[in-house]
Amino acid sequence: SQTIHQWPATLVQPVGSPLSLECTVEGTSNPNLYWYRQAAGRGLQLLFYSVGIGQISSEVPQNLSASRPQDRQFILSSKKLLLSDSGFYLCAWSKDRGTDTQYFGPGTRLTVL
């Protein structure tokens, strides 16, 4: 069976510090991978998606970047965090298309102070 891992579970970082969140998927190959964020009072917002190694699509301009160095690894980064980067970050994977269920990881709670 497939599992998806995220770490860390919680993170408190000062403004201006770098960020690296990691997501890995087990039990499947060539998954589509996604990063979502839920900011306070808002719905889940798609940040990035990837259909393969090195292929990243960004949905909204922001202070964040994503990379996919391996088939089942997805990393969310920032060089300098802003207060507005605080939120709950979820990684998800799916098989192929928009009709396929997306399976979510446990999430990372990021607080930028």
Partner 1 sequence: ILNVEQSPQSLHVQEGDSTNFTCSFPSSNFYALHWYRWETAKSPEALFVMTLNGDEKKKGRISATLNTKEGYSYLYIKGSQPEDSATYLCAFNSGGGADGLTFGKGTHLIIQP
- The nearest distance, CB 15 to partner 1, in angstroms, is 27
Q: Smallest distance, Å, CB 24 to partner 1?
A: 15
Q: Which of 39, 82, 100, 111 binds partner 1 (CB under 8 A)?
A: 100
- What is the rounded distance in angstroms from the CA atom of residue 52 to the CA atom of residue 65? 16
Residue 104 engages partner 1 in binding (rule: CB under 8 A): yes
| Per CB under 8 A, 44 contacts partner 1 | yes
Position 26 contacts partner 1 (CB under 8 A): no
**How would DSSP label each residue in 15-35?**
TT--EEEEEEEES-SS-EEEE
Determine which residue in the list 18, 20, 96, 113 makes contact with partner 1, applying CB under 8 A: 96
Q: Which two tokens stand for residue 93?
A: 């994977």
Sign of CA dihedral 50, 54, 60, 64: positive
Contact 32/51 with Cβ under 8 angstroms?
yes
Give the footprint of partner 1 on this chain (CB under 8 A).
32, 34, 36, 42-46, 49, 51, 57, 59, 90, 92, 94, 96-107
